[in-house]
């Protein structure tokens, strides 16, 4: 896999450049950090929820670098983000005051200055289960870890070992996966069900997630947050597949997500105590998204069970194309396609999550 290149001249210019946030409000004053808190950057790993375009040049169906994706992003540019506009990592770096959006590490036009404040290694349709990425030929978490190692070498060549270590130890590491494991690899394809029941399969996922956290820690990560699984049965696609003629929330998907979440939460609590000088935090995305779906009027939404693209019942990725009509007002719908929320839905959720979790992740730890 070839990664983005940058000129040595640009690298030299960056030797004296750092972007740090110390005890200030974020852009627009949306996020207040505690005293003596420094957030150097954001490094993201996982699936399509936070993939800003790493899949664009892969030979996979799991991509979206074409209209109508990106309809509301930077003048309508389809960058490979699985939404109409910005995705969670973009909103987080903006809230932290770091930059406007988090770029893809494999973006051929990546600005070397972005190395200092973070990039995303995420790949749409991947998961904690190694088989998940193989099914659709995308980057596994192991692949993403290797790209991160490459990134570390480049960062050190730019700013030196001491500065590199400071940036990594003061960056937020975000991991978002599990949806494709449960919805696609387990329930919607036959590859795992013959070998595992859902209890054993969620154990496999949690063990993989724990191993990934330990690997990140071994490479210098000290502030890590992992998203829970969302209420998968309430996604428009899973309503269509498993929700019956009325397309209700499919119970078996939600039950599996909750089972995984309970195990992940316990595992991360254990790692938080075990890993030295680190914070490992479970981030509940299940309940905030479910609240939007169950109480849409509270947030000004009108459509909860269909996406904005085409019929809204099944279209996602290559099934959502410029030939499909899109809803006239994306602010009224929770989902952009049948699997991914709109920028407005993300904004509501991420604003709440950032206020709840960011200071916890960067709070001083008492354990050794």
Catalytic position from the list 4, 72, 337, 338: 337
Own/partner contacts of 293-302, CB < 8 Å, gap of 24 or more, are 293/231, 293/234, 293/249, 293/334, 296/334, 299/348, 300/331, 300/332, 301/332, 301/333, 301/334, 301/345, 302/332, 302/333
The two beta strands, 41-46 and 223-227, are unpaired
Q: Given the structure tokens 């809803």, which residue do they identify?
A: 327
Active site residue: 48, 133, 208, 210, which one? 48
Say which DSSP state 177 is in. Answer: -
Q: Which residues lie across from 283 on neighbouring strands?
A: 227
Give residue 52's Cα distance to chain centre: 9
Residues in the chain: 368
Say how far apart CA 53 and CA 49 lie, in whole Å.
11
* Rounded distance between C-alpha atoms, residue 169 and residue 149, angstroms: 15
Given the residues 4, 47, 72, 340, select the one marked as catalytic. Answer: 340
Say whether 48 is catalytic: yes
Q: Is 340 a catalytic residue?
A: yes
44 φ, ψ (degrees, to nearest 5):
-120, 140
Question: Residues with catalytic annotation?
Answer: 48, 337, 340
């Amino acid at each position: 896999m070839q990664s983005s290149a940058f000129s040595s001249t640009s690298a030299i210019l960056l030797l004296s450049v750092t972007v740090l946030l110390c005890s200030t409000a974020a852009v627009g004053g949306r996020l207040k950090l505690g005293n003596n808190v420094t957030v150097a950057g954001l490094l993201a790993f996982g699936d399509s929820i936070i993939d800003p375009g790493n899949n664009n040049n892969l030979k996979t169906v799991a991509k979206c670098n074409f209209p109508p994706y990106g309809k509301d992003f930077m003048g309508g540019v389809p960058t490979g983000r699985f939404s109409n506009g910005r995705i969670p990592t973009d909103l987080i770096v903006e809230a932290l005051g770091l930059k406007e959006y988090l770029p893809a590490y494999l973006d051929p036009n990546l600005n070397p200055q972005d190395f200092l404040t973070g990039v995303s290694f995420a790949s749409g349709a991947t998961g904690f289960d190694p088989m998940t990425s193989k099914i659709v030929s995308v980057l596994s978490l192991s692949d993403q870890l290797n790209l991160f190692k490459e990134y570390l070498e480049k960062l050190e060549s730019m700013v030196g070992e001491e500065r590199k270590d400071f940036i990594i130890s003061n960056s937020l590491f975000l991991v978002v996966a599990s949806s494709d494991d449960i919805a696609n690899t387990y329930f919607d394809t036959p590859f795992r069900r013959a070998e595992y029941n859902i209890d054993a399969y969620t154990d496999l996922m949690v063990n993989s997630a724990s191993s990934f956290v330990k690997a990140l820690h071994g490479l210098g990560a000290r502030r890590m947050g992992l998203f829970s699984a969302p209420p998968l049965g309430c996604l428009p696609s899973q309503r269509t597949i498993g929700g019956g003629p009325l397309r209700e929330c499919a119970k078996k998907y939600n039950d599996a997500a909750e089972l995984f979440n309970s195990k992940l939460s316990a595992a991360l609590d254990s790692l938080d105590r075990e890993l030295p000088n680190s914070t490992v935090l479970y981030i509940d995305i299940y309940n905030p998204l479910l609240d939007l779906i169950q109480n849409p009027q509270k947030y000004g939404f009108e459509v909860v069970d269909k996406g904005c693209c085409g019929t809204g019942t099944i279209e996602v990725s290559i099934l959502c194309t410029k030939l499909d009509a899109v809803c006239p007002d994306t602010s009224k719908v929770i989902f952009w396609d049948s699997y991914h929320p709109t920028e407005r839905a993300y904004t509501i959720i991420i604003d709440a999550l950032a206020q709840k979790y960011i200071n916890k992740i960067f709070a001083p730890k008492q354990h050794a």
